[in-house]
Amino acid sequence: MSQVPDKMASGPAPAPRALSTVDVFCWRVLIWGLGLSTPLLTSLKPRRFIAGELDVAEGVGDLSYLASKGFYLLFLILATVALFRHLSSGDKSGARGRGFWGLTILLAALPTVSTLVSGGTLTLSLLGTLAIYSATYFMPTPSLEWLVRQLRVMLMCVFVYGSLAVAVLFPDWAWNPSYAEESALALFPMRLYGMAAHANSLAPLAIFVWMLGRFPGCRLRGEPVHVAAIVLVLLLSQSKTNLVLAVLLCCAYLLIRLNSLGRFKRYLGFSVIASSSALFLVYLFKFSSYASRIEDMMYDPQIITLSGRVPLWLLAVDMWLERPWFGQGLDAWSSKASLDYFDFLGWAATHAHNQILQVLSQTGLVGLAALLLWSRSFYRIVRAVPDTVRIPLYWTCAFYFLPGFTEVIFQYTLGQGATLLTWMLSVMVLYSLRIYSRPVTG
């Protein structure tokens, strides 16, 4: 596989060749096709809220099945067109990143391979994944600014403003109406699922819109209004993991900015933050009802087991030990398996809620080795691009990877919010490599 150069050129990137009308059309079909596949496929599946949660064991109807295959066919046609134009253009720059692209394909394909090894059957979803990433690889190289702006506009229209629109127009479908029964931390008795498959998928997509705005030249007109809409969607989704992560990243960003100021301003800023935090904690524990609630929560089984994750993690370890090399494949977290786990866990788990355990339970040690190789290639690319791109990429990567302790961040099935995040991060890194991988001369 091709190697990432240890040093890439500093300064402005070489300008990619101008995109033709056909190239622009293909790119927009890919971006908007992936973006719209999530709400369309989600809308074709009934949402049944049981005890404050979504009934994840709901079967897939014929219309939803046909729609997903239609999207796969669309991306297969797009990949064929991209390959034909790539071969006929004679442009060799697209060969850069072959190793990273190959490892990305390998990660996506390994669950299906493990399924075949364990005696399962081949699924057509693998063909769709190969088509999506092949189209991405063979498409002509756009400027990174153009690519990120297109991604940001799509996310803003579909998942931010689209979710707010359906919250008003189709409330029975967009809202979980009894979320207050599920969590003592609920800020509002309802939880917004919006245009995503789940509220926990909507929240990271909303944050990602803000993250993409950190790239040079990617702020949109009316940016304060867009940021306010993003914050509103994030709060209404009530995704605790993403809310905490957003606050932590904002605090880290603020501390970094303060550290760049002069000594007096830096100490003054730190003093204000420390004093405000102390006053808030005094109020929280002395003058509000939260102190007793927090004390009760310390004995809550949901808190002790991290909302039921600890038994789930033990179950995932047992799956891995049963088939240590290749794992259980896609059958490990299928709808049927989720129902089988219900008696043991008390809820239907559709994934391991931990990325490492997800990889081990599905693809075993072989999958873990592929993940480590992919991570090494990913890091070498990101660390070598100029600061103007590397710094926002680092922030975006931090937001993407940190939830991996309690969630599954690598997903490839159409209709899942994390599928979009995985693809967007991969395509940004791939094209960062292509644009900035000029060997340093002199």
* pLDDT tens per residue, range 151-177: 999 999 999 999 999 999 998 888 887
Q: What is the pLDDT of residues 115-143, one digit of tens each?
A: 888 777 767 778 888 999 999 999 988 88
| Lowest-pLDDT range of 78-87, 349-358, 409-418 | 409-418
**Which residue range is the domain that position 39 belongs to?**
21-436
> Would 336 be classed as within a structural domain?
yes
Residue 51's pLDDT is 46
> Would 71 be classed as within a structural domain?
yes
Q: Which among 140, 136, 18 has a CA at the least distance from the CA of 85?
A: 140
> Would 16 be classed as within a structural domain?
no
Three-state DSSP at 210 gives helix
Nearest 5°: the CA angle 192, 194, 199 is: 55
d(CA 351, CA 365): 18
Dihedral (CA of 174, 180, 183, 185) sign: positive
Strands 49-50 and 53-54: antiparallel
Q: What is the pLDDT of residues 271-317, one digit of tens each?
A: 887 888 788 777 666 665 555 555 554 445 454 445 667 888 888 89
Dihedral (CA of 322, 325, 328, 333) sign: positive
- Residue 280 token pair: 């808030």
| Lowest-pLDDT range of 198-202, 269-273, 378-382 | 269-273
> Would 7 be classed as within a structural domain?
no
Supply the DSSP symbol for 324: T
> Would 2 be classed as within a structural domain?
no
Alpha-carbon distance values, 197 to 44, 162, 333, 435 (Å):
11, 13, 17, 34
> Would 189 be classed as within a structural domain?
yes
Please state the domain count of the chain.
1
Task: Tell me what the mean pLDDT of segment 351-380 comes to.
Answer: 93
> Would 315 be classed as within a structural domain?
yes
d(CA 306, CA 233): 25
What number of residues does the chain have?
A: 442
Supply the DSSP symbol for 309: H
Supply the angle between the helices 62-89 and 21-43 in degrees, to the nearest 10.
160
Task: Tell me what the mean pLDDT of segment 49-78 comes to.
Answer: 71
- How far is the first Cα of the chain from the last one, in angstroms, to the nearest whole number? 27
Q: Which residue has the tokens 């596949």?
A: 37
Phi-psi region of 19 (alpha: psi -120 to 50; beta: other; left: phi over 0): beta
Residue 424's pLDDT is 94
Three-state DSSP at 3 gives coil
Alpha-carbon distance values, 183 to 167, 186, 203, 236, 303 (Å):
21, 5, 17, 14, 11
> Which H or E run includes 404?
none
> Residues with Cβ < 8 Å from 271, sequence gap 6 or more?
none
Q: Which residue has the tokens 């074709």?
A: 44
Residue 8's pLDDT is 53
> Would 182 be classed as within a structural domain?
yes
For the chain, how big is the Rg over CA atoms in Å? 23
Three-state DSSP at 54 gives strand
Asked whether the beta carbons of 432 and 385 are under 8 A apart, the reply is yes
Maximum Cα interatomic distance, the chain, rounded to a whole number of Å: 72
Banded model confidence at residue 187, pLDDT cuts 50, 70, 90: low
Residue 146's pLDDT is 93
Banded model confidence at residue 232, pLDDT cuts 50, 70, 90: very high
d(CA 197, CA 25): 27
Q: What is the pLDDT of residues 387-424, one digit of tens each?
A: 889 999 999 998 899 888 888 888 888 877 678 999 99
Residue 191's pLDDT is 87
Asked whether the beta carbons of 367 and 334 are under 8 A apart, the reply is no
pLDDT above 50 for 373: yes
